[in-house]
Structure 1
Amino acid sequence: MATEEQSEGLAFHPMDQFIVKPLFGGDTVGMVTPTNVTLWMAITVLCIAALFVLGTRGRAIVPSRIQSIAELAYGFIHKMVEDVAGKDALKYFPYIFTVFVFIVFSNFLGLLPAAFTTTSHIAVTAILAMAVFLTVTILGFVKHGMGFLSLFWISSAPLPLRPILALIEVISYFVRPVSHSIRLAGNMMAGHAVIKVFAAFAPLILISGIGLAVTPLSILAITAIYALEVLVAFIQAYVFTILTCVYLKDALHPHH
């Protein structure tokens, strides 16, 4: 099989970019083994810290570019939390803002050549989603006690339909962390895999005459998909964050 792939000259594995590898060699990944995932998560945290340390250091009336970026991100998420979850949700703004900046930085850093997209792994997005799910669920019971269960009882519906709708609402509620995590990981993985597939055809011009037509088309496709991925990187962070605000609103105001 390897011989056939080499003779064809198009052996490529678009999913190899998502393999978790030990950072200092070896083949075994243990619970505390530094990997390429932990490296890029650390880089993400350092980039976030650098942005807000440098962006808030001067606090000039006429902001610098980096201060403008930091203020824009802060104001954007602050308004989102207030508009979606209400003013009483602003006390939870630091947590939501942290989730947003971590995801958006992870997504954009993953677009760098030879980088690793940490948000393409369900293990990472599942932890983020479960943290949101547990936080809003615990918060709902702490603030409302058993009254939080009114979230599942749609009082405006006809009485015979309420038990059926309640069952649907319960199932929908527990599916939230699954859809919340898979949406982010799936979108990030799919885009990067497609780029890798088209990139495999780019050097075809060096191998075969058909590459005169295929190579320019593949480069054009890579450029278009990369531009789309830049947009997706922000949109997926936005979607994850706004859903967090929606879930927080349900915890603070469970009554239909």
Structure 2
Amino acid sequence: MIAASVFLQPEHAGLAIHPMDQFKVAPLFGDGHGEIHWYTPTNVTLWMGLAVVAIVLLLVFGTSKRAMVPSRTQSVGEMLYGFIYKMVEDVAGKDAVKFFPYIMTLFLFIMFANFLGLLPMSFTTTSHIAVTAVLALLVFVTVTVVGFVKNGAGFLGLFWVSSAPLALRPILAIIELISYFVRPVSHSIRLAGNVMAGHAVIKVFAGFAGALGLFAFLPILAITAVYALEVLVAFIQAYVFTILTCVYLKDALHPSH
């Protein structure tokens, strides 16, 4: 690739690569130059709606004709159901199973949004911090409310490290408190950052493919490898977001642990 960049000139002079253009929020109607209001349908709205439609098609219509010998769609739905149910039970405990529908919805929405974002000419909603921050804040508020409702003031024991020396406990309590309120920040940035980075890298290599002429096969091979990695990342990031939600829920249900 270094040799190709030295001996070959771009086919178009002044070729510019703008990897972040793919993340622009644009209204579905109009020229896109006007002000976008909160009620304006945008490409983000469209692809979030498509993620919801995909979930409904899988879990409602795909399993409507349930049978002892499941179809492929029913098998996928049952596999995802069992996978998330076991995660919630193993990580957060049996008393967290009542929150399974919420956690299952989070996982499926993020996973389908990630996979839909890998389609050509699509829009990846989970690459926007505005989307992932709302998801993370919903988890944070839910966990905090559950913690105080179930344990009352005992929930504050989550910040008091009783196993530490007495002199260090106030300092550790401040650190634990800061760490707790940073959770939604790390929870949201981790997802958005990983998804955005992968798509930006693919766009950069695509720009190289358009500039290297006969040597375009080199960045195309790189795109193929990165795309395969992004397919894996799409699932892993949904898994990480979900399992962290289970961990936070466990802290709310069992703060003394």
- TM-score clears 0.5: yes
Partners of 1:19 and 1:69 lie apart in 2 by 33
Give the drift of 1:6: 9.8
Tell me if 1:119 matches 2:122: no
Tell me if 1:22 matches 2:20: no
Q: For each residue in 1:36-95, what CA deviation from the matched residue of structure 2 results, as whole angstroms up to 9, or x when unmatched?
A: 000001111111101111222111111100000000110000000000000000000000
Counterpart contact for 2:11–2:210, Cα < 8 Å: no
Tell me if 1:212 matches 2:214: yes
**Number of the residue aligned with 2:242:** 241
Tell me if 1:70 matches 2:77: yes
**Number of the residue aligned with 1:88:** 95
Aligned length: 246
**Number of the residue aligned with 2:227:** 226
Q: RCO greater where, 1 or 2, for CA within 8 Å and sep 6 or more?
A: 2
Tell me if 1:153 matches 2:160: yes
Counterpart contact for 2:27–2:43, Cα < 8 Å: yes
Which blocks of at least 5 consecutive residues in structure 1 are unaligned?
Answer: 206-210
Partners of 1:200 and 1:130 lie apart in 2 by 36
Identity score, percent:
74
| Higher helix residue share | 1
Give the drift of 1:158: 1.0
Q: Which amino acid aligns with 1:212?
A: L
Secondary structure of 2:19 counterpart:
coil
Secondary structure of 2:192 counterpart:
helix
State the Cα RMSD in Å: 1.3
Counterpart contact for 2:116–2:124, Cα < 8 Å: yes
Partners of 1:171 and 1:67 lie apart in 2 by 44
Partners of 1:91 and 1:166 lie apart in 2 by 30
**Number of the residue aligned with 2:254:** 253
Give the drift of 1:10: 2.0
Q: Which amino acid aligns with 1:235?
A: I
Partners of 2:89 and 2:15 lie apart in 1 by 52
Name which of 44, 48, 56 aligns with 1:49: 56
Secondary structure of 1:160 counterpart:
coil
Which blocks of at least 5 consecutive residues in structure 2 are unaligned?
Answer: 1-9
Q: For each residue in 1:140-178, what CA deviation from the matched residue of structure 2 results, as whole angstroms up to 9, or x when unmatched?
A: 001111110000001111111111111110000000000
**Number of the residue aligned with 1:208:** none
